[in-house]
Amino acid sequence: MRLAESLDEVAAFPEPRDLSQFQKNIDPEWIENALLATGTATIRKRRLPSPRVIWLVIGMALFRNKAITEVAKSLDLAMPTPTGGPTAARSAISQARGRVGEEPLAWLFVRCAQEWAHKSADGDRWRGLALYAVDGTTFRVPDSVENREHFGLGNSGHRGTSGYPLVRLAALMAVRSHLIANACFGPYSKGEHTYAVQLWGSVPDNSLAIVDKGFLAAGVLIPLQGSGKNRHWLVPAKSNTKWRRIKRLGKDDELVEMNVSKAARRKDPALPETWMARAIRYQRKGFRPRTLLTSLTDAEKYPAAEIIALYHERWEIDRHA
């Protein structure tokens, strides 16, 4: 399943009645640690202490069609007054959200990803490798001067620019659970490659990242493989991808060498002139022939048939064959 489809399914999911399910899975200590680590813990007594502001932000994501004040009221997040007075004022709620900022939420996201996504990938390995996938998408954000200046508008060719500012996002997901382990996003003008490379620091050793052909680039995949221990990649070849056969590994299975473009080496002088990969050709009934490229060059340890099945498991239904 593609990232965009996953996000659409999450967006279409009915609003929960409360935060009880999340409260069961997010340890209160994580929230306290997030605030302490980022220096945003509440010092003086407030109607909306920082831990409750964190829950307010989570509630805003779950109850997307409600105003921030309505979320705070419906979740009963404000501390009661000695006289049992009304909830925090509208201005106080907005100020509390601004006071906490984004850093503790980012810290909490990483902690949750470690507990949920990485743990799920670690517990469901293939031949000793944790399975991840990287995918990219774009989405609209509210139309404001600030968002237009920062994120920019998409260019639709003859249709002109998009009506709303667009954010480009790349996400690292655990293949079998679909849980997001990390995400990088920013201006639409930057390509998916830029954001994908920023994800590699979150990929653990002894893992395999499955990506689509848009990420087939030396400047993207060589850093993934080279900056960790036993980290691998799997990607479908493009129709114009060229290589030289170095060694036959089996039927429709060979070790190949590809050139690294001069443009890529100018951008990153650390890249080599050539890079090695394994090319596995196959054809499924009713679809055209295709080739998978991978850094899993040990044909005995990583059988071709299993690699093919793994790639199709990643996409679940092959709409791109």
**SS3 state of residue 191:** coil
Exposure string over 73-112, b if 16+ CB within 10 A, otherwise e? bebebbeeeeeeeebbeeebbeebbeebeeebbebbeebb
Dist CA 161 CA 132 (whole Å): 34
Evaluate whether 288 touches 301 at the Cβ level (below 8 Å): no
Give the per-residue pLDDT at 283.
Answer: 93
Give the per-residue pLDDT at 21.
Answer: 73
pTM, full prediction: 0.84
Q: Per residue of the chain (321 residues), what is the pLDDT tens digit?
A: 566 666 666 666 666 666 777 778 888 899 899 988 888 766 555 667 788 888 888 888 888 778 877 777 777 666 555 555 555 666 777 787 788 888 999 999 999 999 999 999 999 999 999 999 998 888 888 899 999 999 988 776 555 577 889 999 999 999 988 899 999 999 999 988 999 999 999 999 999 999 999 899 999 999 999 888 999 999 999 999 999 999 999 999 999 999 999 999 999 999 999 999 999 999 988 889 999 999 999 999 999 999 999 998 876 534 333
Give the 3-state DSSP-derived string for 57-105, with helices as H, strands as E and coil as C: HHHHHHCCCCCHHHHHHHCCCCCCCCCCCCCCCHHHHHHHHHHHCCHHH
Q: Would you state the structure tokens that stand for residue 155, as one six-digit string?
A: 């260019």
Evaluate whether 193 touches 219 at the Cβ level (below 8 Å): yes
Establish how many alpha carbons lie within 13 A of residue 102's alpha carbon, considering only the half-sphere containing its beta carbon.
0
Evaluate whether 61 touches 15 at the Cβ level (below 8 Å): no
Which helix (H) or strand (E) is 263 found in, with range? helix 262-267
Indicate the pairing of strand 207-211 with strand 130-140: parallel
Q: Would you state the structure tokens that stand for residue 12, as one six-digit string?
A: 């279409």
Evaluate whether 165 touches 153 at the Cβ level (below 8 Å): yes
In the chain the first and final C-alpha atoms are separated, in Å, by 14
Give the per-residue pLDDT at 286.
Answer: 84
